[in-house]
Structure 1
């Protein structure tokens, strides 16, 4: 599959997990695909770097559970194609307040798709996972088929298979302009390309990119601190992935900050416990001195109240970026005026696990196929009048 004179069927802007999955799915359709990224690959400036992410079935929204029904086998297919192990099945705990509406919605969504799960009371939770301390009224959903994804390896696997199938990757090549039309013209710092279709999957840079073609979306990049906490010698084995699951703490309020975490899997003896929120930032100046001490304080409160044997100061702090929308659902839709421009942005910190089906959905939009999934929650016009031309 060769391409000459910079002419493609699809150009994907952004080689993060969503862009790379989209490019991988598109090239499988026999299309000539160029994947562009502004930074040299691999890089740690956006939202797809790092060693691990949570993957799970449990969601409050049925449409996400439906997508995860396909995502799990698609991750397995990528493992087979790349020859790389990407998934560790350690399970996922979703800890909540008893009786909360979100708990009922999540259970209903799992039942709708016959997904194996258990509801655990606080005593049952602590019996099964003795490193945990939870309140009397707390409950949890146990998702036994969830676990962790090897993020950097997953991203590399998509890109490797994409190139094996004839796809082209140009990194260290920022886009300088996009000119819509029946053939979209993409100018970069190095060249000019034309394409019948373009996919915007630029993560925290998607807002300005969309604005350049008259589309103003409520996308807010925020900086997320990634903390690693040392487990004491007495508890270290209990925090390993053979005994301890990934978790999401959705309780909120009081000493319970909205956090998520993973077992020891990246740094020896360190458990990953992180906030699910952070300050608004400019992605081009991510590391400037924005005050986010409150994120460490809130996460520490959860660490102290919920986890036995963890240090009260993080050993390592790293950063990544979420690009949030007001309802925490992404934009996955055609440009209202230029339908050959597809937007895939605003995944609000929970898009990595969905990447295989996001790539499938993007491909269906490009090829104008009947969508497999419920696309209504992802429409560009759902925030009118803010999402306008």
Structure 2
């Protein structure tokens, strides 16, 4: 006999763990299914850190972050652990760069507080950076890092505490939608629920295609590098901001970096985009490229020489991209009790606790108070 739940969530990464938490917090009897082990390294949500920031090139994202920050603070209080580390954030590049100009326009439109710094002012405040003549920067004080794996596990732990059932290492074999319910099958069990939330990351495309939703998603296996600073004290969160460099090179598109309190982790330096994409997770080569490690280290040598030390570790992490790099957060066009979050395009984690809340609102109320105009499924249908 099928086990009954109010809501089933597929995928226990950043978005799914948050959705399970907010559904359970809303009084729902929740089942969270994950095909791998919790906090696995095959997808997008594992790791010691992700950037959290207000600085976005579209005011809609800035307003969403104004809703997300308080939710992170509330999650920290509920979980009784620190998940957010404030470092401040530095965006630097040439003022003529289009992305630099678009960012400024967006921040001004959203009335976001920030500082504009000339290259010499950056050097005075943050001597770790060696900017080219003519470069400038924006500094926004509230940026920082989220302890990514801890955030995912906090959501799942609190969801379970509120009564959610969590089943990892449990791949879904079939989904059968009905008029007002949905059946989910695994190899050994059958579950029924009034609502289904699909947050399957890089596995979303195939799963959604079986439900008649064909999304043009691509998987980008990016690479993360962690380097030993020459002077570790100069690269702690209290003295070194997260950064984004508005430039492209043989290392990829838009390098960024994150400091860490633990010296054994080092400084994370990678790029936003710039790797080849594949269509399916089975095509992913998780083997890190040593050539890329040297190319991104050369970027550091030029602009942050103190961070260009020995490699501590490097690994692959998956992005799931939409063509416009905006998310998909919406209801199924034919089954409104099925909602989905997909295509977070390498910049979704900072929103994950808010996305979980939004998916919960869509599942329970059919709408969310937050602006989803960029995230409609219909733009690809």
Partner of 1:115: 112
Partner of 1:198: 196
- Does 1:124 pair with 2:121? yes
- Does 1:77 pair with 2:74? yes
CA deviation map 1:56-109 (0-9, x unaligned): 111011111001001111100000001011111111112232133433432343
Q: Following superposition of structure 1 onto structure 2, how do residues 1-389 of structure 1 map, counting pairs within 5 Å? A: 5-182=2-179, 183-232=181-230, 235-253=231-249, 257-268=253-264, 270-277=266-273, 278-281=275-278, 282-284=280-282, 286-287=284-285, 292=289, 295-311=292-308, 314-383=311-380, 387=381
Q: Mark the CA change 1:108 to 1:369 in structure 2 (over 3 Å): closer, same or farther.
A: farther
**Mean CA deviation greater in 215-224 or 260-269:** 260-269
**Mean CA deviation greater in 204-213 or 265-274:** 265-274
Alignment check: 8 A CA contact 1:220 1:323 kept: yes
CA distance in 1, matches of 2:138, 2:62: 14
CA distance in 2, matches of 1:113, 1:257: 25
The CA deviation at 1:137 is 2.5
Instruction: Return the TM-score normalized by structure 2.
Output: 0.93
Alignment check: 8 A CA contact 2:10 2:32 kept: yes
Instruction: Return the TM-score normalized by structure 1.
Output: 0.91
CA deviation map 1:300-344 (0-9, x unaligned): 331121112233653311121111111111111112122222110
CA distance in 2, matches of 1:132, 1:256: 20
Cα root mean square deviation, aligned: 2.1
Alignment check: 8 A CA contact 1:186 1:194 kept: yes
CA distance in 2, matches of 1:326, 1:227: 26
CA distance in 2, matches of 1:261, 1:365: 34
Structure 1 portions without partners, runs of 5+: none
CA deviation map 1:101-131 (0-9, x unaligned): 4334323433444432111121211221111
Structure 2 portions without partners, runs of 5+: none
